[in-house]
Amino acid sequence: MGSRELDREAERALERRSPFVFGFFVRVFRRTLLRDFHALRISRRGLPPGAATPRLVLFSNHPSWWDAVACVLLAQRFFPGRAAYAPIHADMLKRYPFMGRIGAFGIEPEGRAGGAAFLAGARRILADPEGLLLVTAQGRFADARERPVRLRPGIAHVAALRPDATFVPLALDYVFWDERKPELLVRFGAPIPAASLAHRPVAERTDALARALEETMNALTLEAMTRDPAAFDTLFAGRVGIGGVYDAWRRTRAALKGERFSPAHGDER
């Protein structure tokens, strides 16, 4: 398939995105997250770049199925009004076609054709100064503690494609602290101008991006180990406690002692 055909195919794929459907799934994903997680928290030392940063590429690790939910909610929260797009496996898009309506575009992860399709999509997205590309750059599920961090080379080609873009590493982790449900923790790394990478060989670009993501992941791991909510801002918080008979008993005991009842087990500072 020639470059013009790839560009047309990318355009058709990206045109499937619907702001209305995206907004609907933001609400669905928020309810789902509040049901299954204690909180979504962002490191106070790793906040996102400015909402108006042009031609933005967020590249993250890929520890969980929940990564897509996290990225949709983060895009809506920190970059409102900007159309976010993300490549996914073409088979997954066939299985879940609604994802094309919220900004996913299908690629085959192996082979030259898949790489060409990814770059055609990236070129189309980043042609717009408000373009926002989200990439789980490992290209597979990988534990958040796996080291060294290795990225697929496709993202490095984007730096040469758009030297005026900005790359930002995004670390994701899922941990249990004091509550029954897990915490979803995120941390952004320092922005990387694509121009600082574009003149280097592809392998060096890939390694530089991998190191930046690994450093951001390491910093998030250290914060997660402190189990200190004060190191994070809470973006969304679900219900705390166990519920049912156990919390009813705790509530009654607190009332008998004249104490204020809190269902939380830890210090929510």
Q: How confident is the model at residue 238 (pLDDT cuts 50, 70, 90)?
A: confident
Query: Which backbone phi and psi does 132 adopt, to 5 degrees?
Result: -135, 115
Residue 261 has what pLDDT?
41
Counting residues of the chain whose pLDDT is more than 90, the rounded percentage is 78
User: Based on the number of CB atoms within 10 Å of its own CB, is 143 exposed (0-12), middle (13-18) or buried (19 or more)?
Assistant: exposed
pLDDT higher than threshold 90 for residue 6: no
The strand pair at 132-136 and 183-188 is best described as: unpaired
Mean pLDDT of the chain: 90
User: Based on the number of CB atoms within 10 Å of its own CB, is 18 exposed (0-12), middle (13-18) or buried (19 or more)?
Assistant: middle
pLDDT higher than threshold 80 for residue 143: yes
Residue 239 has what pLDDT?
73
Average pLDDT, integer, range 130-143? 96
Please tell me which residue, 52 or 268, carries the higher pLDDT value: 52
Task: Of 177, 14, 40, 174, give the one whose Cα is nearest residue 102.
Answer: 14
Task: Of 107, 216, 206, 125, give the one whose Cα is nearest residue 159.
Answer: 206
- Segments making up each domain of the chain, as ranges: 3-238, 240-269
Q: Which stretches within 44-111 are classed as H helix? A: 67-78, 90-95, 98-101
Residue 257 has what pLDDT?
62
Residue 214 has what pLDDT?
98
Residue 255 has what pLDDT?
60
Please tell me which residue, 243 or 129, carries the higher pLDDT value: 129
Q: How confident is the model at residue 248 (pLDDT cuts 50, 70, 90)?
A: low
Q: Is 144 helix (H, G, I), strand (E, B) or coil?
A: coil
Residue 3 has what pLDDT?
65
Q: How confident is the model at residue 170 (pLDDT cuts 50, 70, 90)?
A: very high
Q: Which residues pair with 169 in a beta bridge?
A: 59
Which listed CATH number (3.40.1130.10, 3.10.450.50, 3.40.1590.10, 3.40.710.10) goes with 3-238? Answer: 3.40.1130.10
Average pLDDT, integer, range 127-139? 96
Residue 243 has what pLDDT?
47
The reply to whether omega before 229 is within 30° of 0 (cis) is no
Give the Å distances, CA to CA, from 202 to 22, 155, 163, 209.
34, 10, 14, 11
pLDDT higher than threshold 70 for residue 250: no
Average pLDDT, integer, range 198-224? 97
Q: Which residues pair with 28 in a beta bridge?
A: none
